[in-house]
Structure 1
Amino acid sequence: MTTPTPTTPPTLVVLDMAGTTVADDGLVEWAFSRAAEELGVEPGSPDHQEKLDHVRATMGESKITVFRTLFGTEERARRANAAFERAYAGLLDSGACTPLPGAADAIGQLRSAGRTVVLTTGFSRTTQDAILAALGWRDIADLTLCPADAGRGRPYPDMVLTALLRTGTESVRDIAVAGDTAYDMLSGVRAGATHVLGSVAELPALLEGTAG
């Protein structure tokens, strides 16, 4: 996870969802496998393993961007994305999506301390809203953003910078960013963040320390 250098108390906290505040437990990989099978990729085949390895290596990236790389044409990428969303929605309906321990409390502490919290994701708006609804998190953050809201997803800093613009935050030096994947880290660093944490639950205490 990344946060800004502790020289200015952050007023804006941008948090990833799956893997950072929301438990993943292989849900993305399972939904991808179902989507790939719908597009004719045989489970257990070398092609399937190669594509799954790419999904693992690009966790945090916009899912439609991943599918464009894997399936070549826009039509196939959109079919794969639609199949992925259906599969993931089924997991949500089954109750497989849960918050990570301490995540909701951490978000509450951050907001109680007067900080603005924004949740970001590599999923589409449809899937992001479904996750928020499944967890009862529709009002947990001040703002939620997906790649389509910003123009580009991770590893670009666009969602972080969009969060800055939409919340009226004065400077990138006022932002803390937290995520669990290499792409989360890269987008945070590109937006000016540089600190490592073990869990999002540690974030409120760290930010209180920067204010001291």
Structure 2
Amino acid sequence: MLYAVAHVRGGGELGREWYEQGRLLTKRNTFTDFVAAADHLIAEGYATPERLVAEGGSAGGLLMGAVANLAPDRFAGILASVPFVDPLTSILDPSLPLTVIEWDEWGNPLADPEVYAYMKSYSPYENVAEHPYPRILAMTSLNDTRVLYVEPAKWVARLREVGAPVLLKTEMSAGHGGVSGRYSAWRERAFELAWILDVLGYDS
């Protein structure tokens, strides 16, 4: 097993300009960066599409949803934790606790039609299509106040409409950071890793 971390634009690893190229009306760069990282691993012989699983959470869960639509053939599985997969609906609601402060990162679709159209063009929920998807595990929490559980729930429902092999796991007493307590957190992570191993064909 190999574990690779993709530093996509939107992070600060390569400086301020790199960060600026991954937000607002250049948000799509974060998705294509991730696909490019997968392509590099495949080209260099570290992985094959049949033996590659992607993982991300929260805004990284949006990345997972976008990649599932953009390049489903690159991955055997996609693990999306508390995924922000219906961003347009949430960012249009200023009554939610994070919406207004997040306009600096995503733009304000209430005030700018260009932002609205751009967000709609990459929103995972809005762009589910009738094509083969990799196996998908969506993890959410009933008491998550940052990414409401309804986002992954409706995304999963939409994926199931097009026949995607998707599993939804909802923690009933957890928040955005997952379950509380060391052993509970280990148990949750063990579930995720067991799913990854199953996707990759490790059955013993």
Query: TM over 0.5, yes or no?
Result: no
| Structure having the larger proportion of residues in helix | 1
How high is the TM-score relative to the length of structure 2?
0.31
Higher relative contact order (CA 8 A, sep 6+): 1
